[in-house]
Amino acid sequence: MSSRSKEREVAARLARHAREEGGEPPPELLARLEGDIPETISGPLRRLEPAHAGAGPAASRRWLLAASLAVMVGAGVLAHRLFETVPPPGMKQPDQAAPPAAPSAAAWSGSEKGAVPAGAGPAAQPQPPRLERQQAAAAAATGSSGVDGRHFLEGPPGGSNPGVPAAAAPSSPREEVASQPVAAPAPVKQKAQVAAAEPKPGRERTRQQSAPAAPAGGVNVGGNEAGRQSLYAGPPVGQPAGAVPAAGGQPAAPPGAGERKDAVAVEQAAGFAEAPAPPAAPAPPPASAPKIALQETRRPQAKALGAAAARPPSAPPPGSFASRGGFVETAALRTSVFGPGAGTPSYDMTRHFVLDLGKLPSPGLVRVEDFVNALGGGVSDTPAGNGPGAPGTASVRALGYLSAGSAGEGGHAAFPSPRRTYLLRFELRPPAAPAAARNTGNAAASGSASPVPPTPMSLAPPAPRAEVEFNPAVVARYRVVSADLRLGPVTATAERPAEQLSAAADEFARSASVNPVAPAAAAAPYGGAMVALYEVELQPGVDPGQASQPRPSGRPGRPAAAAGSASLAAPVATLRYAGSGGQSPRGQDLRLSDLRQSWQAAPAELRLSYLAVELAEALGVQGARQEHADWQGLLRRARALAADLPDERRARELVRLVERAAALAKLRDGAGRQEP
Amino acid sequence: MGKMGVIEMAAGSSLLGGESRRLAKGSEAQEAELLAALAAGDRAAAERLLERTYRGVFALLRRLCGDSDLAADLTQETYRKAWTALPGFNGQSLVSTWLARIAYNSYLNHLRRPHRLVPLEGKHEALVRDPAPTVDETIAKASDADRLRRAVVALPEELRHTVTALFWGERSVRELALEEGITGPAVRKRLKRALQALGRALEEGPR
C-alpha cells in the first residue's frame, strides 16, 4: 500500500470515528452545565472586534506586518525624495552640471565676457544634460542658433580661433566673476575649483574665441568703445597688464561700490589697474597682473536654512535670487548681450509635472530662461513704455521697481533688497519667418502676424544678436534676471592660483582682440521673441521721479553732468539690434521717463515676464530656497495680471500653474519635507 | 471515499461538526454580540453561549475518550474552567475554538492525572467485583475505535492536536493555523506527518 493511500485510509478511519463516536450529549448535561454558570459573569476584559473570528493574523504577526509596512512606506518616501532631489539620468542638478550651465549666464550678462577666460572651457565640458540636448534640438528645429545665451556668445558660423586656449572650466555652474581679489581666501562654505583645461582639437568653439569681442581698434556699433575695451582689450602682447591704463572717459566707480560684495570685478579681470578694490577684500590684488577672481557659491545647506529663518524678513534669504549677486558695474562693462529664446522644454516639463502629474518638479529641471520664453515673450497688450512691439522691432518696456523699504502702496518687492533697483525688460521680436520656413517648420510661431515682408529663408541664418548698452551716467550696476545666474564668484585656490587665472584672462583678452566678431548688433533670428530682464541700480541721486525736464542730448556714451540732474529723456539703456533683411543696426532707448514707479503701472507683458521668473524661483531654480517662496503673493499677482489680460492664454495658464504648485508646495511643506 | 482529500475528510468527518461549523461561521456577528453581553455581565448570554457550544465540546471529548460519562464530566470541567478564564479571552479565535482547546487540555490532564483508585488486595478482590472491564481488559479487547484513539493519543503533541482539532474538533485548517500561529501549509504538513505516524501505529497493532 502506498504512503498516500495509507494516509487516506487513516483519514477515512478518523472521519468515520468522528461520525460514530460523536453522539448526542446526555440530556442532563445541559442542566448540569447551566448550574455551573457563576452568578456573576465576568466577561472578556479586552475589546473584542467582530472580525476577530480567525480572520486576522496573530498578534505577533500583526506587529511583523506593521513593521514591514512601515519599512516599505519609509523606503517609498525616501525614494520619492531622492527622485525629487536627484534628477533622472541625463538631467543633472545645477550644481552638478557645471560646464553646460556655466555659459548660460555668460550669455546673458555681459560681465561674463570677462569671466569667460577662466569660466568656461569646452575641453572640460561634459556631455550636455538631456534637457539641454532637447533644447538644442528644439533650437535646431526652429532655426535658432542656440539654446540659450551662451550660444549667442559663439561667433558667426564657421568662425574659429585655434589660437585660443581652452580656459579654466569651473566645476560648478554657479561661478561668476567676483569682486574678491585673487588672493582672497575662500569662504568656509565655498570651495574654489578652477580647473585648468587644455585646448583640444575639434572643440575649439569656445566662448572665448567666439565671444563678441571688439578689436583693439574699438569696433563697436554703439560707439561705446571704452566699454568694449574694458571688456576685451587686454594688455597688448608683450605689454605688462598693469600698464594698461583705465579706459578713458569712464566715469569713476560709483561711491559705495566697494561695499557691494556681489559686484563684479570685471575691470580687474580685464586688467584695470586702477579698479577700486573692495574694502572688504582681505588681500589687495597684485598690481602687476590682471586678475580674475572666480568663486564658487554652493547651494546653502539645511543648516544655513535654519539660520536664515531667524533673519529679519527684509534680508534676502540665502539662496534666493536677491542674494546671489551677479551685479555688473556699468562703469566696467556697459554692454550686455542676450540671445533668442530658443526653447521652452523646462517650462513644458514643469507644466506637465504640476498640472498633469500633480507633483513639483525637481529644482534642477527649472530654468528661468525657458519660463520667460514660454510665458513672457510676445505678449501683446496695450502699448506701454516706448515700443510698439511690432514684429521686427524692439519692444523696450520698463518697470520702475522700488525696494521693499520704499515700495509704498502697490509696490511689489520683487527682490528684497535694501537698494533701490528697477526692473527693465527688453524684447526683440524677430521678423516673421518666410512662408517656406513656416511650412517646413523651420521657424517658431511668432507672437503676432507680421506686416513685415517675409525674409528669404537662409540655410545659415544670421547670428542672432542683440545687446543692451547701459548708460553709466544713470545706471550704476545691473544684472540679468531672466536667466539662471549659474556663474558664481570663483576665487583662486592652490590648485588654480591667481597667476594661472590671470594668464588665462590675458590669453583670452589677446585672442578676443585679434578675432573680432561681427558687429554686436546683428539680425534677429526667426522664431520666438527675445526677452531679457535686467535689474538695475541707478546712480546715486538719479531718481526718475524727481528728474528734471527732458534734455534731448542724453546719450548712453556721455557721462552724467551731475548726479541727480539727469533728465527724464536721459537714456537708461539702449537696445541695439539689426533690422531684418540686412538693414543697418537699430537702436532704441529706454529713458528715465519710461520707468514706472509701481508694479501696477508696469506694462502687462513685463509683469508676466517677471512672474515667470518668480515662478521659476519659487520652484527652486538654482537652489533658491523654496521655503521662502511667497506663493500667496505670487498667486495674487498672477490673478491680478490675468484680470488685466483676459484674452491672454498664458496669463490664465500661469494662474493655474501657480495655484497648483502652491498647493503642492503646501502639501510638501506640511509633510515636513526639507530639502537635503 | 473517492478522491476526496484528507482535509475534505476532516471537514466532513462529522455531519454535526460540519453543521455546527457552518452555523458558527454564519453567526460570527452573533458571537461578537454574545461576548459583548458577557463582558457586561449578562448571565443569559452565558446560557445562550452554553447552548450553542456544549454539543461540540462534548462530541470532541467523546471522541477523545470514548466514554460518554467521562466526556460529560470533562465537559463540565471544561466549562468551569471557561467561566473562570473568560476575562482572559482575547477574542483572537472563535469561542468554540477556545472552548475546544480547553476541553482538549482537560482531556490531557485527565490522562496525566494519577489514578486515585487504590487497587484492592487480592483477598477482597473476589468480594468487590467491578462489572466494568478493567483498563487492561479494555485495551486487550480494544476495538478499532479504541486502537485508533490510543494511536492518536500516543502521537506527539503537535501532531495529536492537529489530528484531533481537524477531525474531531470541527475546526478548519485556517482556524488551526491561526490558533497555532503557523501557516496553512504547515498545518497540512503536520497532518501528513500525523497520518503517516497513525498509519504506522495502526499497522503495528495494539501495543
Report pLDDT for A444: 33
Pairing of strands A294-296, A175-177: antiparallel
CB atoms within 10 A of CB A232: 28
Q: Per-residue pLDDT for B55 more than 80?
A: yes
Report the amino acid identity of residue A37. Answer: I
CA distance A290 to A344: 39
Report pLDDT for A304: 38
Report pLDDT for A426: 78
Across chain B, mean pLDDT equals 77
Q: Per-residue pLDDT for A15 more than 50?
A: yes
What pTM value is reported for the model?
A: 0.37
Contact yes or no for B14 and A22 at CB 8 A = yes
Report pLDDT for A175: 38
Report pLDDT for B78: 92
CA distance A667 to A644: 30
Q: Per-residue pLDDT for A22 more than 80?
A: no
Which of B75, B92, B93 minimises the CB distance to A29?
A: B75
Which of B14, B72, B92 minimises the CB distance to A52?
A: B92
Is the Cβ of B11 closer than 8 Å to some Cβ of chain A? no
Return the bridge partners of A538, or none: A475
Q: Per-residue pLDDT for A536 more than 70?
A: yes
A655 band by pLDDT with thresholds 50, 70 and 90: very high
- In this structure, what C-alpha cell is assigned to residue B44? 443569559
CA distance A363 to A627: 13
Residue-by-residue DSSP string for B78-119: HHHHHHHHGGG--SSS-HHHHHHHHHHHHHHHHHHSPP-SPP
Q: Which chain A residues are within 8 Å of B19, Cβ to Cβ?
A: none
Report pLDDT for A414: 52
Across chain A, mean pLDDT equals 57
Return the bridge partners of A477, or none: A329, A537
Range with the largest mean pLDDT of A404-408, A584-588, B183-187: B183-187
Contact yes or no for A52 and B91 at CB 8 A = yes
SS3 at position B122: helix
Q: Provide the shortest C-alpha distance from residue B123 to chain A (in Å).
A: 37
Interface test with B, best of A41, A49, A60, A61 (most B CBs within 10 A): A41
Mean pLDDT computed over A434-459: 39
Q: Which chain B residues are within 8 Å of A42, Cβ to Cβ?
A: 41, 86-87
Q: Provide the shortest C-alpha distance from residue B119 to chain A (in Å).
A: 30
Report pLDDT for B151: 86
Contact yes or no for A14 and B148 at CB 8 A = yes
SS3 at position A173: coil
CA distance A229 to A224: 9
Is the Cβ of A50 closer than 8 Å to some Cβ of chain B? yes
Contact yes or no for A37 and B37 at CB 8 A = no
Q: Per-residue pLDDT for A118 more than 90?
A: no
Contact yes or no for B39 and A44 at CB 8 A = yes
Contact yes or no for A60 and B181 at CB 8 A = yes
181-200 in B: which are within 8 Å (CB) of A? 181, 192, 195-196, 198-199
Phi, psi dihedrals of residue A199, rounded to the nearest 5°: -70, 140
SS3 at position A455: coil
Report pLDDT for A69: 93
Better-scored residue on pLDDT, B32 or A96:
B32
Q: Quote ipTM for the complex.
A: 0.72
Report the amino acid identity of residue A501. Answer: L
Residue-wise pLDDT for B141-159, tens only, equals 557 777 888 888 888 888 8
Residue-by-residue DSSP string for A190-212: ----EE-----TT----HHHHS-
Contact yes or no for B86 and A21 at CB 8 A = no
Q: How far apart are the first and last CA of chain A?
A: 71
Determine what percent of chain A falls in helix, strand and coil, rounding each to the nearest 5: 35, 10, 55
